[in-house]
């Protein structure tokens, strides 16, 4: 990990941008972090720069409570290159959602209930299995 910039805020929270190999990120640490502190990894749905104001507010809140917080740029967003396998998995997931939504709206014995649809989509999006046609 290489720190590329550093800023101490008025509340004492230290904000440091870093790169881990080619992956950019930001680390926020409490003012009193003279020892090891627990780390919270913050996720975000968009590019790091675009999400920074919301992330910074959450991270500074966590740092005020004595935690360190960090976030990294996700593959395919911001400065990170797109990953063809990730792009394919996202496309497959979108097709599965469309197919399941169509099945949920059809009447009859083959109908998938909306609760089942939500459970299916949740389990698929949190699965490490490949999503796509069987």
Q: Are residues 14 and 49 in the same domain?
A: yes
Residue 44 and residue 89 in one domain: no
Q: Tell me: the pLDDT tens digits for 6-25?
A: 999 888 899 999 988 888 88
Q: In this structure, are residues 51 and 44 in contact, taking their beta carbons and an 8 Å threshold?
A: yes
> Measuring CA to CA, how many Å separate 98 from each of 20, 74, 88, 94, 113?
37, 25, 15, 6, 14
| pLDDT computed for residue 128 by the predictor | 41
The pLDDT score that the predictor gives to residue 107 is: 60
Residue 119 lies in a domain: yes
Share of the chain above pLDDT 90, in %: 16
pTM: 0.59
Where in the sequence is the domain holding 110, given as residue range(s)?
A: 84-125
Question: Both 57 and 89 in a single domain?
Answer: no
Residues 7, 66: one domain?
Answer: yes
Q: Is residue 130 part of a domain?
A: no
Q: Residues 96, 60: one domain?
A: no
Average pLDDT of span 73-87: 74
47-66 tens-digit pLDDT: 666 667 778 888 889 998 88
Q: Do 9 and 63 belong together in one domain?
A: yes
The number of C-alpha atoms within 13 Å of 47 and in the hemisphere containing its C-beta is: 9
Residues 17 and 66 in one domain: yes
The shares of helix, strand and coil residues in the chain, as percent rounded to the nearest 5, are 40, 20, 40
Contacts of 26 (CB under 8 A, 6+ apart): 15, 16, 17, 18, 48, 52, 55, 56, 59, 70, 71
Q: Is residue 93 part of a domain?
A: yes
Domain count, the chain: 2
């Amino acid at each position: 990990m290489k720190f590329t910039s550093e800023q101490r805020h008025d509340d004492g929270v230290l904000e440091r941008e870093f790169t881990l190999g080619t992956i950019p990120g930001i680390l926020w640490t409490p003012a009193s972090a003279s020892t090891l502190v627990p780390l919270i990894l913050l996720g975000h749905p968009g590019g790091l720069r675009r999400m920074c104001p919301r992330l910074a507010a959450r991270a500074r809140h966590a740092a005020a409570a004595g935690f360190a917080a960090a976030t990294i740029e996700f593959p395919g967003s911001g400065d990170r290159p797109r990953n063809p396998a990730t792009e394919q998995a996202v496309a497959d997931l979108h097709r599965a959602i469309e197919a399941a939504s169509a099945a949920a709206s059809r009447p009859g014995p083959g109908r998938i209930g909306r609760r089942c649809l939500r459970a299916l989509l949740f389990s698929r999006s949190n699965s490490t299995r490949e999503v796509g046609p069987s």
